Structure 1
Amino acid sequence: MTAQLYVFDLDYTLLAADSSTCWCRYLAENRLVSDPAGFLAREKELMEAYDRGQMDVHDYIAFSYGAVKDKTAAELDALCKDYVQSTLPELMFPQAKALVSKLLEAGEHCVVISASAAMIVRQAAALFGLKDVLAVECEIKDGYYTGNISGLPPFKAGKVDALKAYQQKHGLEKAKVHFYTDSINDLPLCLAADQVSVVNPGAALLKEAQQRGFEVLHWTLH
C-alpha cells in the first residue's frame, strides 16, 4: 500500500493570516522595536513584494530579526511563545483543524512547510498537533539570532528541495504527496505534488488550479 504524505503551508492555509506579519504587529504593539510605525510600514512593503512573487526571503529575515537584535534568542523564543498562544488560536481555520485532526487520528504522516521563521512555525504548527516542520532556520551566534538564514530556505522552488530531503530522511520517497497551499509562490511544489488543494487562492493560483485540475477549497473562520 502506497504511503500518504500530507503537506501543509502555514500562512493563509492553516491560518487565516500571515504568522510573520502578525509577529511583527505583536512586536510593534508591545513597543519591542524602536520605531513601530516605520517597522510596520517596511514590513508591509516586503509583504507586498512577496505577493508579487518578488521578495527575497533573506531580506525579510534580516529585517525582522534585525529590529530586535538586542534580545537574546532565549528572550525572543519566549516572546514568540506568548505571541503564538495569545494571537494565533483565533486565526486557525476550523476546516484546517478538523482536517488535520482527522489525518492525525488516522495515523497519516503530516508536515508543515513554510517560508516563515522556524521559531514561529514550530509553535504555530503545535497548535494543530503537528510536530514535523520545514521552515526558515535562523542562525544563532553567541546566544543571539544573527538575522542570517542557516541552510537553504524552503521558499518557492526551495520547498521542493526541502520536501525531497525530508522524504529521504523518513523513507517516504515513494509516498503520494498531498499539498495544501494558498500561494502562487508555491507553484513549484504544486507541480511536484501528486494531489493539490488550494485554499482561498488569489487570481494567479486560481487560474493555475482551474487549468491543472487542483481542488479549490474555500475556508473561513466562521
Structure 2
Amino acid sequence: MDLVLFDLDNTLLAGDSDFAWAEFLIGKGVLDREVYETKNVTFYEQYKAGTLDIFEFLDFQLAPLARHKRAQLDAWHAEFMDVAIRPMMTTQARALVDKHRAEGALMAVVTATNSFVTGPITRAFDIPHLVATIPAQENGAFTGKPRGMPAFKAGKIERVEAWLESLGLHMGSFDQSWFYSDSHNDLPLLARVSQPVAVDPDDTLREHARLHAWPIISLR
C-alpha cells in the first residue's frame, strides 16, 4: 500500500482557500475591508516569501471564528464552497485523487490552513483524512487560538507522524510515500517522502525539484 499526501492550497486547488476565506468574509461585510484586506495580502506575500510567522498569522486567521456561532460559520462556509472553492477544484486534480484512490492508497490532505476551512474541501475531494492546523475550542465554540503544533513547514512532519501513529502505522509502513505540493514551505515533508512531486511550483521549489530530479506536474 502507498501513502499519498496532498497539499491543498495552490496544489489540489487552483487557488488559496485561506486567502479566499478572508476575502469571502470581507465581501460579506463580516470583516472590515480597510483593516483586513491589507493584512490578508501582507500575510499571503510573507507565506510566498517563506517569512511568515505562523503564530502571528493564526491570530489573524482564527480570530473571526471566535466571534460567531458555529451555525452561522457553517452557513457561511457552505456558501463559500459554492462561490469560491468548487471553481478551484480542477478536473486534473480530481483525476489525480481518483487515480490514487483506485490504487488503494492511504490518502490525506496535509495543510497549514485550519481544519474548519479545509475539512469540507477535503470531503469534497472524497479524501478520507485531513492533517491540518486545528483551531482550539471550548464548550463547542472556537477560541481564536490554535491547538497543538500548526501543520506548517517541519510541523507537517510532526503532525503526519502523529496521525500515522494513531493508525498504528509509520512512514516506513508503506511501499511508497508521495507528497504533492506547490510551495517551498513544504520542502521538509517533500524531502521526507520517497516520491516528492512539485505541482505548479513556486520558483524556489521548481529550482529545487530540477536540481533533485523530482517530477514537476501541473493540475491547471
| Shorter-chain TM-score range | over 0.9
C-alpha separation in 2, matches of 1:135 and 1:187: 17
After superposition, what is the alpha-carbon deviation per residue over 1:71-122, rounded to whole angstroms, capped at 9, x for unaligned?
1233223322321233211111221100111222332211000000101111
The 5 Å alignment of 1:128-207 reads: 128-173=125-170, 174-175=173-174, 176-207=176-207
C-alpha separation in 2, matches of 1:53 and 1:122: 25
Aligned in 2, Cα 1:105/1:147: closer, same or farther, shift over 3 Å?
Answer: same
The 5 Å alignment of 1:43-192 reads: 43-67=40-64, 69-173=66-170, 174-175=173-174, 176-192=176-192
After superposition, what is the alpha-carbon deviation per residue over 1:154-176, rounded to whole angstroms, capped at 9, x for unaligned?
10001111111122222332212
Retained in 2: the 8 A contact 1:72–1:143? no
**Could you say what the CA RMSD is over the residues aligned between the two structures, in angstroms?**
1.5
Amino acid at match of 1:30: K
Q: Which has the higher helix share?
A: 2
How many residue pairs end up in the alignment? 217
Shift of 1:127: 1.4
| TM-score (structure 2 length as normaliser) | 0.93
| TM-score (structure 1 length as normaliser) | 0.92
After superposition, what is the alpha-carbon deviation per residue over 1:115-164, rounded to whole angstroms, capped at 9, x for unaligned?
00101111111111112000010011244322110011110001111111
What SS class does the counterpart of residue 198 from structure 1 fall into? strand
Retained in 1: the 8 A contact 2:2–2:104? no
C-alpha separation in 1, matches of 2:65 and 2:127: 28
Structure 2 unaligned regions, length at least 5: none
Structure 1 unaligned regions, length at least 5: none
Aligned in 2, Cα 1:99/1:77: closer, same or farther, shift over 3 Å?
Answer: same
Moved over 6 A (4+): none
Amino acid at match of 1:139: A
